[in-house]
Amino acid sequence: MSLINLIDLPVYGDGRGDLSSLEVGKDVPFDIERVYYLYNLGESPRGFHAHRYLQQLAICVNGHCKFLLDDGTRREEVVLTKPNQGLLIRRAMWREMREFSNDCVILVLASAHYDEKDYIRNYSEFLSFAKGE
């Protein structure tokens, strides 16, 4: 099974433009407890961590960017270019983000509030954690 799980979101377009919506239980497979967004992104890559329990859906609502996902045994990359497509990031998945376009905005829906204790920011520690899963 691919690590890259893309969820296509509905687009309601007409002469005025496009509108996409997300519904918990239909488009998003977890309850949304937090929303955040990344913008004014430069050349520095981000991420380089995994989460013990957090699940997230990342949508590049403007521009494009590259995500790398790693489950401890495999690494896969995807370029996000569509505002109507979300990348599901399951728990226990190392992620790295890079190659942001100047106009890139990434909207992230998260299954829990921010909790630094849920982060694994050391790759060796992540590999041990992933092995125990």
Kindly list the residues in this chain that would bind ligand T46 in the complex (CB under 6 A): 34, 36, 38, 46-47, 56, 58, 95, 108, 114
Nearer to ligand T46, 9 or 69 (CB): 69
Question: Known catalytic residue: 113?
Answer: no
Q: Which residue has the tokens 């977890």?
A: 30
Q: Which residues contact 114 (CB under 8 A, 6 or more apart)?
A: 34
Helix H or strand E encompassing 126: helix 123-132
Helices then strands, counting H and E runs in the chain, come out as 1, 12
Q: Which is nearer to ligand T46, 88 or 95 (CB)?
A: 95
Least Å from the CB of residue 17 to ligand T46: 27
Shortest approach of ligand T46 to residue 14 CB, angstroms?
Answer: 32
| Residues designated as active site | 49
